[in-house]
Amino acid sequence: MKTLPPDVTALYPFEPHFFETVDGRMHFVDTQTGTRGNVVLLHGNPSWSFLWRDLIKALSAAGFRCIAPDHIGMGLSDKPQKYLTLADRIAHVEALLAHLGIEKFSLCVHDWGGAVGSGVAGRHPERIEKLVITNTAAFRSQNIPRRIALCKAAGIGPFLVKYFNAFAWPATFMSVTKKLSAAAKAGFLFPYASPRERVAVANFVRDIPLNSAHPTYATLCAVENGLESLRDKPMLIAWGGRDFCFDDTFYNEWVQRFPQARTLYCKDAGHYLLEDAGDRIIPAVCEFLAQ
């Protein structure tokens, strides 16, 4: 594993843990101690568990055990040069939780972590205690921004993402409304320094299913159908209102599907809402999970 630079380690001071999946070694944060329950935090693309760093610190201080994996190909996990699907990623998380002996847990999700986490939760609703939904989707949609569609376009899209870092790098300024510190920007970009390290970033975009012929379409349909089994779960929907990707149509879909959910809408925050509105989001999440 590459060594994190000191300025990034200062923001992300967690001991590394690893688990062997069928597709490679998965890195994960595990605070291990905590008497108030387990919280599993799932990131999306092109971030990694670094996204959750401040929430992990706050939840750990409040007595929760936090488990935050890096999806295979992302963060500090192995970078296999192959296409992994949503179904693969759901299986990886299920295997990690089985390995750790985690039975009951609350779930925090963001971006692609929403589809992955909802896939796990919908298959095991009896194990879910609470849900925190942040700028994500777990249902079909044709609403794809042009800049995402460009990165998805066959040939040119993967080329731009892998060789010009045209996904992770733009995210450091397009996904926020407040300028990232130099250390935070370095943290988000650290795992994706070379074309070989950006294969999963490109393939996550490739795995967005827009029609029934896509190999992940059936899996996403199953994830969407599984949301019904979560309707009675306590839920907090925390949202950045200036997200260029997961805009208000996705927020409204979540609220319509889960009308009983608590909501925290931060109209001035972008896609990386914990960077823009962490001072509001993190206390609300801690209070919600502690109730």
Task: Please spell the DSSP secondary structure of 96-109, one letter per residue.
Answer: HHHHHT--SEEEEE
| Torsion sign over Cα 116, 118, 123, 128 | positive
Number of domains in the chain: 1
| Residue 250 covered by a domain | yes
* Alpha helices (runs of H) in the chain, residue ranges in sequence order: 6-11, 53-61, 86-100, 112-123, 146-152, 156-164, 168-174, 182-189, 199-206, 217-226, 248-257, 273-290
Neighbours of 35 (CB within 10 A): 7
Q: What's the pLDDT at 276?
A: 98
Instruction: Describe the strand order of the beta sheet including 17-21 as a list of residue ranges.
Output: 17-21, 24-30, 65-69, 38-42, 105-111, 128-136, 235-240, 262-266
Q: What's the pLDDT at 183?
A: 98
Cα(239)–Cα(277) distance, integer angstroms: 10
* Residue 121 near residue 237, CB atoms below 8 Å: no
| Residue 184 covered by a domain | yes
> In what helix (H) or strand (E) does residue 237 lie, and over which residues does it extend?
strand 235-240
Q: Extract the residue ranges of the chain whose pLDDT is less than 50.
A: none
| Residue 161 covered by a domain | yes
Q: What's the pLDDT at 13?
A: 98
Pairing of strands 262-266, 235-240: parallel
pLDDT in tens, 139-173: 999 988 888 988 888 889 999 999 999 999 999 99
pLDDT in tens, 97-144: 999 999 999 999 999 999 999 999 999 999 999 999 999 999 999 988
Q: Closest Cα partner for 230 from 94, 110, 128, 114?
A: 128
- 83: domain range? 6-290
Quickly list DSSP for 9-65. Answer: HHH--PPPEEEEETTEEEEEEE----SS-EEEEE--SS--GGGGHHHHHHHHHTT-E
Give residue 77's identity as a one-letter amino acid code: S
| Residue 37 covered by a domain | yes
Tokens 């939904």 sit on residue: 133
pTM value is: 0.97
Q: What's the pLDDT at 287?
A: 98
Q: What's the pLDDT at 147?
A: 80
| Torsion sign over Cα 214, 219, 221, 227 | negative
CATH code, 129:
3.40.50.1820
Cα(98)–Cα(131) distance, integer angstroms: 19
* Helix (H/G/I), strand (E/B), else coil: 124: coil
Cα(144)–Cα(210) distance, integer angstroms: 9
| Residue 1 covered by a domain | no
Cα(253)–Cα(78) distance, integer angstroms: 34
Q: What's the pLDDT at 145?
A: 84
Pairing of strands 17-21, 24-30: antiparallel
Give residue 48's identity as a one-letter amino acid code: W
- Residue 253 DSSP label: H
